[in-house]
Amino acid sequence: MYQNEIILSTKEILEKEFKLDTRGYRPQEVDKFLDIIIHDYDAYKDKVHDLEQDKKELVEDNIRLKQEIRNLKTKIEVLQEEKPGNDITNADLLRRLSNLEKIIYGKE
């Protein structure tokens, strides 16, 4: 139901007042527990923010690499058309693929 929404803020958690009953909870225990919840909630929000940033960077890298692959495919087609008797070998393709993997995974 509320999976994609954050309902409470840390301020709302902190300022929450509970009604006391004749056999109510100890306010100190409730406050201590709410402090733990607030800490976890802040950590959760920070983690979500970091993951969103990582996702954004990965999407941008993915788009850039896809464009680079398209450009390389176009260059290969142009080279094949210019020199029809000089076909690109599997070794050439594997070398180029290896270079692309190094770029993608950051291993140079």
- How many structural domains does the chain have? 1
Phi first, then psi, for residue 106 (nearest 5°) are 75, 20
Distances (CA, A) of 91 to 43, 78, 87: 49, 19, 11
Range name among 21-25, 51-55, 61-65, 97-101 with the lowest pLDDT average: 21-25
Question: For tokens 């941008």, what's the residue?
Answer: 60
pLDDT in tens, 43-52: 888 999 999 9
Is 24 part of any domain?
Answer: yes
| Residue of 89, 69, 71, 91 lying closest to 80 (CA atoms) | 89
pLDDT at 55: 96
Is the pLDDT at 20 greater than 90? The verdict is no
Q: Which residue range forms the structural domain that includes residue 42?
A: 10-105
2-37: buried (b, 16+ CB within 10 Å) or exposed (e) per residue? eeeeeeeeeeeeeeeeeeeeeeeeeeeeeeeebeee
89 inside domain: yes
Within-domain flag for 4: no
The structure's pTM equals 0.51
Determine, yes or no, domain membership for 3: no
Residue 22 included in any domain: yes
